[in-house]
Chains A and B, each alone.
Chain A
Amino acid sequence: MHKNITCIACPRGCLLTVSGEAEDLIISGNECRKGIEYGRQEILEPLRMLTTTVRTTHPVYTRLPVRLSREVPLEQIPEFMKVINQVCVSRTCIPGDVMAVNLLESEVDLIATGELYYEKG
């Protein structure tokens, strides 16, 4: 395997070259140690936070912003989008509220990042 990636551990943005196999990765192009850790994680399992919105039944605020409870593997993001797009909110919530649990049975929850207010009754 041989791959070029840009390190984002600091603003410098070294162009890393990663070669070798899983247990025996060779990382070059890095100007500091941060590059090695970043390169390793990026090759073995790049993790990303997913933020998106879900539908609501609210008459004015028709979308609620949400995020996942933790970072997930980049390649799974499209699957997470599919299940999140099934969610529809119809209750008052504030940032931090859990809107759906255990998405894709991966113990990752869906967390509200915005506020939504429904009049009672």
Chain B
Amino acid sequence: MKQEYDVVVIGAGPAGLAAAVAASDKGATVCLAEREERMGGILKQCIHDGFGLIRFKEKLTGPEYAWRYENMVKERPVDFLSRTFLTTMKPENGGFDLSFVNPEKGVFSVYAGSLVMAMGCRERTDRQIFLHGERPSGIFTAGQAQDFINLKGYMPGHKCVILGSGDIGLIMARRLTLEGAEVQGVYEIGSEPSGLTRNIVQCLEDYNIPLQLETTVTEIHGYDRLEGVTICRVDKNKIPRRETAVRIDCDCLILSVGLIPENDILKPLSVKMDPVTKGPVVDQNLETSFPGIFSCGNALHVNDLVDYVSESGHLAGERAALYGKKKIQVKRRITLNTAGNIQYAVPQNLTLPAKGTVPLFFRPLRSMGKGVAILKQGERIILKKNLNWLKPSEMNRLPIDLSLIDPDGMTPVFSLENREGVHA
């Protein structure tokens, strides 16, 4: 007989672990499926510290943070399926027929009342940033290099160039240096670093690793093994200026050029996606446009703090557990519009009427010294808060009281404006 669960969680990284714990605590029967052998997701290889300051009020390393959640899952009646991959999902009787594959059972199916999608994100690769040409060995994404060094104990190279200033790239610059590699420099095409300032200081400045902005890699040299790269300064439109081309010898190129939420499995169900976040469009319950499918963590939008990932996993797990139990009274699902200096805001929709306070996560489009965030419905101000020193690389969180939103009112608009005429 086919196994049935109230909630099936896909992915046992920080979002999925929190979702499984929360769903179980709400009384749901829970299955947690993970394609790797162990729980923890990317945290297993993030051996640096700084995790959990909000969630645990402590500075933990990635494996320590994961271990705490792993224990919470193990203390609860959650069925954990390791080395298990979800291949298809079909809507069936208000729930979902899931087809999995793993080495023990082969292909098998599971019935889920509701689903929490916690697949995390993928790194952008050399091909995705149009770095074509030969394919010598020695080109890695930052996470791949991190996996080689921290989990497998292999050095990806000895003379390294890092392209992109994302946090994992910065952390790998330090990690490679500590392990004896020479890091020639970090090159960023943008005019601002994309990683946290803290990482610029403690990973690059501490070890005298140069960071060069408005610079990118335009050519790969070498056939079997990487022998060097050509770097170029770029103009305002990010077009390389050929006259600035310089060749740098290296045997390793590490890419830290962005993360993309992993949601391919949702495609056949035509779940509505947000073109900016690359994750699904959700409401305050983190439910997607497909009833019964919830999304959280980096699959929903790329976060910079794991604490926020756990928070969204918790919310999605809780709401997925309620989905099977009682029908949430849906009156209206409306769009939460954005205006001004907003890159994106999650949730993108609100299902009304609603009570309680939910977090609104957003990133500004550009850096801003003194800003004011305003949530308005028509002319009525629901929330107004002054915020300072906003950066696109640092996500913001604002709690919103849903009971203040009139279910029959106009479309609410969330905006970020300059305060007192101070320029960004």
Which one of A3-11, A18-26, A101-109 is at the interface? A3-11
B206: CB under 8 A from chain A?
yes
In the complex the two chains form, is A94's CB within 8 Å of B67's CB? yes
Nearest-CB residue, chain B, relative to A55? B153
Chain B interface mostly helix, strand, loop or mixed? helix
Q: What chain B residues lie within 8 Å of A52 (beta carbons)? A: 47, 178-179
Known: A6-B197, A51-B49, A113-B47. A63 touches B389 (CB 8 A): no
CB contact list, A67-82 vs B, under 8 A: 67, 74, 77-78, 81
Within the complex, which residue of A6, A10, A12 is in contact with B201, where a contact is CB–CB below 8 Å? Answer: A6
In the complex the two chains form, is B197's CB within 8 Å of A63's CB? no
Looking at the assembled complex, report how far the CB atom of B252 sits from the nearest CB atom of chain A, in whole angstroms. Answer: 19
As a 0/1 sequence over residues 152 to 171 of chain B, the CB contacts with chain A under 8 angstroms (1 = contact) are: 11000000000000000000
In the complex the two chains form, is A67's CB within 8 Å of B61's CB? yes
Known: A12-B388, A51-B47, A113-B47. A63 touches B178 (CB 8 A): no
B407: CB under 8 A from chain A?
no
In the complex the two chains form, is A77's CB within 8 Å of B64's CB? no
CB contact list, B64-88 vs A, under 8 A: 64, 67
As a 0/1 sequence over residues 363 to 392 of chain B, the CB contacts with chain A under 8 angstroms (1 = contact) are: 000000000000000000000000011010
Known: A10-B389, A11-B389, A48-B202. A114 touches B153 (CB 8 A): no
Report the separation of the CA atoms of residues A52 and B45 in the bound assembly, to the nearest whole angstrom: 11
In the complex the two chains form, is A74's CB within 8 Å of B153's CB? no
A side interface size, CB within 8 A: 29
A62: CB under 8 A from chain B?
yes
Within the complex, which residue of B48, B63, B149, B178 is in contact with A114, where a contact is CB–CB below 8 Å? Answer: B63
Interface residues on B, range: 20 to 34
Within the complex, which residue of A5, A6, A13, A113 is in contact with B61, where a contact is CB–CB below 8 Å? Answer: A113
Known: A65-B63, A113-B61. A53 touches B153 (CB 8 A): yes
Looking at the assembled complex, report how far the CB atom of B196 sits from the nearest CB atom of chain A, in whole angstroms. Answer: 8
In the complex the two chains form, is B64's CB within 8 Å of A113's CB? yes
In the complex the two chains form, is B152's CB within 8 Å of A62's CB? yes
Looking at the assembled complex, report how far the CB atom of A44 sits from the nearest CB atom of chain B, in whole angstroms. Answer: 16
Q: What chain B residues lie within 8 Å of A114 (beta carbons)? A: 44, 47, 63-64, 67
Nearest-CB residue, chain A, relative to B394? A11
Q: Which of A50, A51, A74, A95 has the most CB of B within 10 A?
A: A51
CB contact list, B40-57 vs A, under 8 A: 44, 47-49
A87: CB under 8 A from chain B?
no
CB contact list, B186-228 vs A, under 8 A: 196-198, 200-202, 205-206
In the complex the two chains form, is A48's CB within 8 Å of B206's CB? yes
In the complex the two chains form, is B200's CB within 8 Å of A6's CB? yes
Looking at the assembled complex, report how far the CB atom of B199 sits from the nearest CB atom of chain A, in whole angstroms. Answer: 9
A83: CB under 8 A from chain B?
no
A37: CB under 8 A from chain B?
no
Report the separation of the CA atoms of residues A97 and B201 in the bound assembly, to the nearest whole angstrom: 30
Q: What chain B residues lie within 8 Å of A10 (beta carbons)? A: 389
B269: CB under 8 A from chain A?
no
As a 0/1 sequence over residues 29 to 58 of chain A, the CB contacts with chain B under 8 angstroms (1 = contact) are: 000000000000000001011111101000
Q: What chain A residues lie within 8 Å of B59 (beta carbons)? A: 49
Within the complex, which residue of B62, B150, B152, B202 is in contact with A8, where a contact is CB–CB below 8 Å? Answer: B202
Nearest-CB residue, chain A, relative to B68? A95
Nearest-CB residue, chain B, relative to A46? B206
Report the separation of the CA atoms of residues A78 and B180 in the bound assembly, to the nearest whole angstrom: 10
Q: What chain B residues lie within 8 Å of A67 (beta carbons)? A: 47, 49, 61
Looking at the assembled complex, report how far the CB atom of A20 sits from the nearest CB atom of chain B, in whole angstroms. Answer: 21
Interface set of A (CB-CB < 8 Å, partner B) = 5-6, 8, 10-13, 46, 48-53, 55, 61-63, 65, 67, 74, 77-78, 81, 94-95, 113-115
Sample (5) of A-B pairs whose CB atoms are under 8 Å apart: A8-B201, A12-B388, A63-B150, A65-B63, A67-B61
Interface set of B (CB-CB < 8 Å, partner A) = 44, 47-49, 59, 61-64, 67, 149-153, 178-179, 196-198, 200-202, 205-206, 388-389, 391, 394
Closest 10 CB pairs of A and B: A12-B389, A65-B47, A114-B63, A13-B197, A113-B61, A63-B153, A8-B198, A95-B64, A113-B63, A65-B63
